[in-house]
A and B are shown apart, each in its own frame.
Chain A
Amino acid sequence: MPDLFVSKEKVQKEKAHDPSVEKTNAEVREEIHKREGKLESGELKYPKDEQEKKSLPGHSNNPLASYNYFPSKVDFINKDPEEEVILFLRKHPITNLKWIVLSFGMIVFPAFASVLPFFDSIPSNFSFLLVISWYMVTFAYVFENFLNWFFSVNIVTDERIFDVDFYNLIYRKITDANIDQIQDVTVQIGGGLRTMLNYGDVIIQTAAEIPEIEFEAIPMPDRVAKVLRELRIQEEVERLEGRVR
């Protein structure tokens, strides 16, 4: 006679301690490894404290780092208290080269512009006003580009992935998806500079409302894909064990 009135928690507990289920999980893990390739480094190991975090390869205390593995002191809107940030990513710093070079040009421009005959015909009040206004605009240009780079981040936690894009000061887009909704991860590194500096795109296909999330121009995209793969395995194992959060 089947147990019709057994509570769901009891069934989950029994499943969690059932050796035949644990064996199935190991078989599932093996299957996934065969399908997607075994990870060289093994399982994702969560550090217990800050000291252990500092010893992890890829961890950085630099607030301007583009790749940070288990970062310290990172928080974001709608983060669960139990959620652990595993990867904190930005675009590779080389993507800022264009506006940095232009900024240097803007800084030295007044020195060259003052030799133009146009400046002899305007009063000194105005030329001084023009110069200070020019440097004010230059500062705003540099600051805005820096902010766009600094705050456009990709975050991978143990439960979700986030893509935060600040296109300009008044337009931002935040996309997130659960790890268990990830269906496919593609790494794209194209071009000489990207190959040389090891940065590229990670394109993530999901079963969520937004079908594709793209981590653009991030350093070490292969390592990021590896971490995502391991997290998917962990989610699948948790789901089978009934430990879904």
Chain B
Amino acid sequence: MNFLDPGQLRDSGFFILKIASVVLLALYFVYAFIIVRQVNLMTQTIDVAFKKPLKVFAALHLIYALLVLLYAIIM
């Protein structure tokens, strides 16, 4: 396994790639947040059974997006 140190990363050309990854993942985090808001709006528009699992999935997805973003930052 060839894991780069953050120090090595700065020196190599992958630093730009890292910046790009962080920016894209930050935008994706915003999108994940929009998903959570829209699921809430949808469940208010149509109130049916199964809405709790959907809200849980949306929240889990948001947390996952945040963890991926944090990994990209500290990588």
- Residue of B45, B68, B71 with most chain A CB atoms under a 10 A cut-off: B45
| Residue numbers in B under 8 Å from A140 (CB-CB) | 31-32, 35, 61
| Residue numbers in B under 8 Å from A137 (CB-CB) | 28
| Residue numbers in B under 8 Å from A129 (CB-CB) | 21, 68, 71-72, 75
Nearest CB of chain B from residue A136's CB, rounded to whole Å: 6
By size class, the interface of chain B is 20 to 34
Nearest CB of chain B from residue A125's CB, rounded to whole Å: 5
Decide: A139 and B61 in contact? CB cutoff 8 A.
Answer: yes
Contact pattern, B 14-40, Cβ under 8 Å of A = 1, otherwise 0:
100100010001001001101100110
| Residue numbers in A under 8 Å from B3 (CB-CB) | 123-125
Q: Assess A169 versus B47: contact at CB under 8 Å? Given A124-B3, A133-B25.
A: no
Nearest CB of chain A from residue B46's CB, rounded to whole Å: 5
Contact pattern, A 165-195, Cβ under 8 Å of B = 1, otherwise 0:
0100110101000000000000000000000
Decide: A76 and B68 in contact? CB cutoff 8 A.
Answer: no
The stretch among A102-110, A143-151, A210-218 that forms the contact with chain B is A143-151
Which B residues fall within an 8 A CB radius of A? 1-4, 9, 14, 17, 21, 25, 28, 31-32, 34-35, 38-39, 42, 44-50, 54, 57-58, 61, 64-65, 68, 71-72, 75
Which A residues fall within an 8 A CB radius of B? 63-64, 73-77, 88, 122-126, 129, 132-133, 136-137, 139-140, 143-144, 147, 150-151, 153, 164, 166, 169-170, 172, 174
Please list 20 pairs of residues, one from A and one from B, whose beta carbons are closer than 8 Å in the complex, sorted by A's number.
A63-B49, A64-B50, A75-B46, A76-B46, A122-B14, A123-B4, A123-B14, A124-B3, A126-B75, A129-B72, A133-B21, A133-B68, A136-B28, A136-B64, A137-B28, A139-B61, A151-B46, A164-B45, A169-B38, A172-B45
